[in-house]
A and B are shown apart, each in its own frame.
Chain A
């Protein structure tokens, strides 16, 4: 998983972490167990993805609920903020 600069305070500066998980929700849970607090930056406590946070698997933007996105070994998950402004 690639970690954006704004969240590297949680990962002690790491820009990439390797996780084992079968879907995107499981990825976030695994991430949270290693880096407490980071999951809240991506989804709120109701489990909804924050409006201007995008999740990509490889280079594909995820448009469906995170739990519905299955992962394969070697997939790269990116978390990126939407472009701010216009």
Chain B
């Protein structure tokens, strides 16, 4: 094990840019908490340095960025483009590897914004999907607000929450207000998407439209991460927790649940994972690598990192005694 690369900081998200396999980015406060949010960049395996500027709202907006929660590499043919999802919920784009940032106005000042309400985890934009087939096709997930989609590079956005439950709302199926927890492309490569929500697990097909709830077969409808197998269609992994009021594994058994058919059925995998484990997995706490077969990696909020080399059938703890794990990202360094 090597690191830490941003010593002392609470690192909300850490990624290896798959476009070059060399550049690492981190979202963390500058130095330590008091100095505000920052984006760090550097060569993978070396200490990272804060970029010149963190994402900022426009002057006069009355808004101020408090945290950067998520960093998402842009399209393959724009190697200097990176997106940042922040709190309070907003999306920013940098075209110079995080040195300066632009505000995605149509989402950040969306007409519904005045009614956005933070959930327990704050009003955070934590999921960004950039379509590898159509770089102008973007999705963004905001806790307790829902999923938004743009097909024109962020100029216009639509709410995309049909079929998704919001049990905490008087209308259980509102246009927006759903508490999306994580979005992930289906490895089918046709634009299908998986979603883990506060209220269930979902899949949306290649043509968009309504989501199909696929929670049946899982032990609960609550969890944070969802990670897909990039090489196998309709294959994804989730880590259900008891629920919003008790964010630990059911019956104290750590388990990763796998589907290979877009959520029609789920298989519980526990081999090598601990019992008497009253802990959970946070939003960015699971990742798959691009190898075939893939590796899957899950970090717990009690500081253990588990890995599977056989597509989830068995697991091995590969690190222990870490701080609570906020972010796991797997990639191939070049």
Contacts and interface: CB of A to CB of B under 8 A. Distances in A.
Interface of A: 6-7, 9, 36-37, 40-41, 44-46, 48, 50-53, 81-82, 84
15 contacts: A7-B31, A9-B49, A36-B52, A36-B53, A40-B36, A40-B53, A44-B66, A45-B57, A45-B63, A46-B63, A48-B64, A50-B35, A53-B34, A53-B35, A82-B34
Contacts of B53: 36-37, 40
A81 B35 contact: yes
A45 B56 contact: yes
Contacts of A37: 52-53
Contacts of B242: none
Interface string B40-79: 0000000001101110111101111110000000000000
Contact of A44 (B49, B52, B64): B64
Given A9-B50, A45-B65, A46-B64, A40 B32 contact: no
A45 B59 contact: yes
Interface in B1-57: 30-36, 49-50, 52-54, 56-57
Interface in B55-105: 56-59, 61-66
Question: Which secondary structure dominates chain B's binding surface?
Answer: loop
A30 B166 CA distance: 49
A6 B31 contact: yes
Given A9-B50, A37-B52, A37-B53, A44 B36 contact: yes
Contacts of B49: 9
A41 B36 contact: yes
A45 B64 contact: yes
A6 B35 contact: yes
Nearest to A52: B34
Contact of B30 (A41, A45, A52): A41
A46 B59 CA distance: 7
B70 to A, nearest CB: 19
Of A6, A48, A82, the most chain B CB neighbours within 10 A belong to A6
Given A36-B52, A50-B36, A44 B65 contact: yes
B52 A84 contact: no
B60 to A, nearest CB: 9
